[in-house]
Structures are given as structure tokens and as C-alpha cells.
Amino acid sequence: MIKVDIMEAFLTLKSCLTELRVMRIMTYMERTLFVLVYRL
């Protein structure tokens, strides 16, 4: 039973980290686009 809980917690943590990484990439892309538009 404990093993299953650990796996679930690990998967949840992994999905949260993936979401954070995606958000970071999105903000990075937005910043890059903003810089490109600002230079134009």
C-alpha cells in the first residue's frame, strides 16, 4: 500500500514539475516575442 502512495506522489510531483517547466518556457517565449516586437 505504501509503495502505491509513493508512486502516486511521485507522479503528481512529476506532473507539477512538468507544468512549471512548460509555464517557464511559455514566459520565455513571450519575453522573446516581446523583445522582437520592441526592436521592430
CA–CA separation, 40 and 8 (whole Å) = 48
Indicate if the pLDDT at residue 3 is higher than 90: no
Residue 1, helix vs strand vs coil: coil
Q: What is the DSSP string of 7-30?
A: HHHHHHHHHHHHHHHHHHHHHHHH
Residue 3 DSSP class: H
- Return the pLDDT at 19: 93
Indicate if the pLDDT at residue 39 is higher than 90: no
For residue 20, what pLDDT band results from cuts at 50, 70 and 90? very high
Indicate if the pLDDT at residue 1 is higher than 80: no
Mean pLDDT, residues 12-35 taken together: 92
Q: What is the average pLDDT value for the chain, to the nearest integer?
A: 90
CA–CA separation, 34 and 40 (whole Å) = 10
